[in-house]
Structure 1
């Protein structure tokens, strides 16, 4: 199996230094030219840890396998951290699912890193990381360009800060990145750490669709004491059509995965609020 690995290390005078940007691409089976729907997922995996703090990347891979998605955005991915037994989590998950992947650390520690990742059945054309403004924990945006039936699809993966004071500047940075590629299809997804009615999200909705919000679907994306909060979201560029979506109550993370099926210019989208796989 052909493998291409690219390592780019940037030393910056910022809280995010050093940034290690790692692309691992393997040939993926083409989806075909029938323009069939694309199934995308966002999932905050909490370093693959369960409620007891035990990390198990293969359990996360099994959960993702049941969703049978084409593109998967992950947040809180550990890379060789002591708390997760020094495992390269995204490599294990990608190998289990036989998907291409990109890993982009947001935070570099003395040993290991922590950040966002993207898994894809589509070929990866390009990827870059963009540091987001942060006053506490470093945050980033991962911008990956995929080949979707010979057309570029930008997939933006992010995990915004937990502090309200950080949100405005982080949203402004997201908007600036989205506006650079308004001529191409795009999906923005991840953990926004904001409720759906937060006014700052309206600025994103002025540029991208928020189908779950627009359809008033009552998803639960956090378990336990946080149950009822919807902080994990998927936004679509105007040229993409929403078909259906769900947030099934599965997995060992403190978040539930959110999946959505989309299509290019579908004339009659359907809506499904049921949490089913």
Structure 2
């Protein structure tokens, strides 16, 4: 009898609403360091980590193909089961090509590329619009000028301006994410035009931490910490929920996945 009464009482309780599912996407940006330092071994380490993460999109810099080295983005994409977009200033058909790439496990709605101004610097941006559970998202990948002097700063500012123009003409109404090796700290004047419109995912998540000591340059190769690899997001349409470094530990004694660390972030679509 007691069991019957308990069952009746439980049935009378209001049903709990299901926990809302955060809809969003995850991304990785990573400078591959082209084929230096035992690429056949490094690529296996990189592949295992990406297989475990299954990010929706991956931005790669310093991607190379040449005789006896298959296009690195193509190799990773095939083993991950991802689509990919490779961009280079080297024309198709040339034996050696060098550039940037975007990989995605999502359906591709549109793709494009642009050679950034000034054209003498041979910098590019790749673009994919992907379908994330019915939500179109624009993802851009780039790699800006590497000079650390005043001239490099001016060149990067020009590249950012051209990048923003390209985004304005290709993004439509869909949210925008921009990833890559910017060769500049997030608060550098070179990136001010970008920062005015887009949020820094890593900095947004770790806002209360001492970010000056965070580096995406591998401290095994570089003395001073420098966070120059970024994932920027459109703040009125996306929220940064998680962000962390990847490949920041050696996979063997004295062996690293790259001379950069990667950055992983999880973004949520804004309500």
Same fold (TM over 0.5): yes
2:31 is the counterpart of 1:44: yes
Tell me which of 160, 170, 173 is aligned to 2:162: 173
Match for residue 226 of structure 2?
229
Name the structure 1 match of 2:44. Answer: 58
Distance in 1, Cα, partners of 2:85 & 2:199: 25
The residue that corresponds to 1:7 in the other structure is none
Partner of 1:252: 257
Instruction: Return the TM-score normalized by structure 2.
Output: 0.76
- Give RMSD over aligned pairs: 2.5
What is the alpha-carbon distance in structure 1 between the residues aligned to residue 164 and residue 71 of structure 2?
31
Match of 1:99 in 2: 82
TM-score (norm: length of structure 1): 0.75
Tell me: CA distance 1:226–1:166, structure 2 relative to 1, closer, same or farther (3 Å).
farther
> Cα–Cα, structure 1 residues 106 and 216, in superposed 2: closer, same or farther, change >3 Å?
farther
The gaps in structure 1 that reach 5 residues or longer are 1-33, 267-277
TM-superposed CA distance for 1:60, in Å, is 2.6
- Do the aligned residues in 2 keep the contact of 1:107 with 1:139 (CA within 8 Å)? no
For residues 227 and 254 of structure 1, do their structure 2 counterparts lie closer, same or farther at Cα, with a shift above 3 Å needed? farther
What 5-or-longer segments of structure 2 have no aligned partner? 1-20, 250-255
Give the direction of change, closer, same or farther, for the CA distance of 1:35–1:124 in structure 2 (3 Å limit): farther
Structure 1 residue 136, shift from structure 2 partner: 4.7
Residue 263 in structure 1 maps to residue 271 in structure 2 = no
> 1:71 and 2:57 equivalent?
yes
Residue pair 1:106, 1:116 contacting (<8 A) in 2 also: no
Match of 1:153 among 122, 127, 137: 137
Normalized per residue, which structure has more helix? Answer: 2
Q: Specify the structure having the higher radius of gyration (Cα).
A: 2
Cα distance in 1 for residues equivalent to 2:270 and 2:31: 29
How many aligned residue pairs are there?
230
